[in-house]
């Protein structure tokens, strides 16, 4: 009998588990910043600004949580794609998983900047 039909345990591999836990940790820290630090402010939040034009977009507390929620769904979608590629091409799978870490870090930085400015 051939053993070609046996699949590798997706969550049992050390690299994918480490990336998944790291990504969830960064996302949880971003959620904590958005919930605890941003909920104290009642004024409109500055969501977009630059050095030339200044402030160009205001928002509410729900927009800050929506930003986190959008990043969370993008991360989940990327993990699903990574799992799909895991059994077909490991290199693409690791690229998708590593992109999750970068995505969650950028989301964390964006939430921290929004909370710090306000």
pTM recorded for the entire structure: 0.76
Residue 25, pLDDT > 90, answer yes
Residue 5, pLDDT > 60, answer no
In tens, the pLDDT along 32-63 reads 988 887 777 667 777 777 777 777 777 777 88
The residues near 22 (Cβ < 8 Å, ≥ 6 apart) are 101
Reduced to 3 states, what is the DSSP secondary structure of residue 62? Answer: helix
Residue 1, pLDDT > 70, answer no
Q: Are the beta carbons of 56 and 46 closer than 8 angstroms? A: no
Reduced to 3 states, what is the DSSP secondary structure of residue 12? Answer: coil
Residue with tokens 């895991």: 86
Query: Which pLDDT band, with edges at 50, 70 and 90, does 69 fall under?
Result: very high
């Amino acid at each position: 009998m051939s053993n070609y039909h046996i699949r590798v345990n997706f969550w049992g591999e050390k690299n994918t588990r480490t990336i998944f836990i790291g990504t969830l940790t960064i996302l949880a820290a971003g959620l904590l910043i958005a919930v605890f630090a941003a909920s104290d402010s009642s004024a409109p939040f500055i969501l977009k600004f630059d050095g030339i034009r200044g402030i160009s977009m205001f928002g509410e507390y729900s927009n800050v949580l929506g930003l986190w929620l959008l990043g969370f769904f993008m991360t989940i979608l990327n993990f699903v794609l990574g799992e799909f590629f895991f059994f077909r091409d490991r290199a693409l799978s690791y690229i998708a998983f590593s992109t999750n870490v970068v995505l969650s870090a950028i989301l964390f930085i964006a939430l921290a900047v929004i909370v710090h400015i306000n």
